[in-house]
Amino acid sequence: MCGRFVSNTPPDELARFLRAQAPDPGTALDPSHNIAPTQLVHAARETRGVRRLDSLRWGLVPSWAKDPRTGSRMINARAETAAAKNAFRSSLTKRRCIIPADGFYEWQRLEGSKHKQPMFISHPDAEPFAFAGLWAVWHDRDDLDPDGEPIELHSCTILTCAANTAIAEIHDRMPVILPDDTWEFWLDPTNTDAEAMTELLVPAPAETIRMHPVSTEVNNTRNDGPHLIERLQTH
């Protein structure tokens, strides 16, 4: 799974990287080295032929959900079953996004210890990952805007797949990382073939992964800052 990640590239640079329009002034998110579920995240999506970098809440809330807290249980969607799950099927067909990340964390079990060692995972060239994501819109019937319309909540989830050989050393799952030559096809909402989309949801090559141990400070979601991704010095 992917339960915590880093986004410290400035929004305008992320937009250029994803070949998308930058966020409107005042809506761009601040950098974070410890993004947790239910927080806002950057996501590129395409509507009416325009690719934009938007802000979505992490944790997909299906349109039929009774409560937005449902999203806290849907931060990830398994690539192997997304097309069959009621919560994700519609989004896989027509509401896909790319969630950029400068890296993510995974926790390695330590032999003979109850504690786990957090690892920071990033690209060897220090460029952002492009996570495959799904998004949805939920309407809050109990909270109306000034025009009397239900408030919309736009949310997302990160698709995961079996780990590649690099990640498998510490965990059996990893986020789906899309190569840039698949972005146009993935984001095009007119492509509604779920089977074709599922074929893209495969592990990234092991050579696109590097990782190192980091401080257990990352375990606390209140902690943030670039020191969280620094290599832990061991003796």
State the sign of the Cα–Cα–Cα–Cα dihedral 5, 6, 11, 17: negative
Q: Answer for the pair 200, 79: CB distance below 8 angstroms, yes or no.
A: no
Token pair of 61, please?
Answer: 């809330």
Question: Tokens in use for 189?
Answer: 């909402």
The three-class DSSP label of residue 130 is strand
Please answer whether residues 42 and 29 qualify as being in contact, where contact means their C-beta atoms are separated by less than 8 angstroms: yes
CA distance 154 to 61: 8
Residue among 46, 97, 106, 161 flagged as catalytic: 106
Residues 6+ apart with CB under 8 A from 127: 17
Catalytic residue among 2, 97, 156, 161: 2
Is residue 152 annotated as part of the catalytic site, yes or no? Answer: no
> How far is Cα 108 from Cα 137, in angstroms, rounded to an integer?
35
Report in angstroms the alpha-carbon separations of 86 from 133, 134, 137.
16, 13, 15
Active site residue 2: yes
- C-beta of residue 21 within 8 angstroms of C-beta of residue 52: yes
Q: Which positions are catalytic?
A: 2, 106
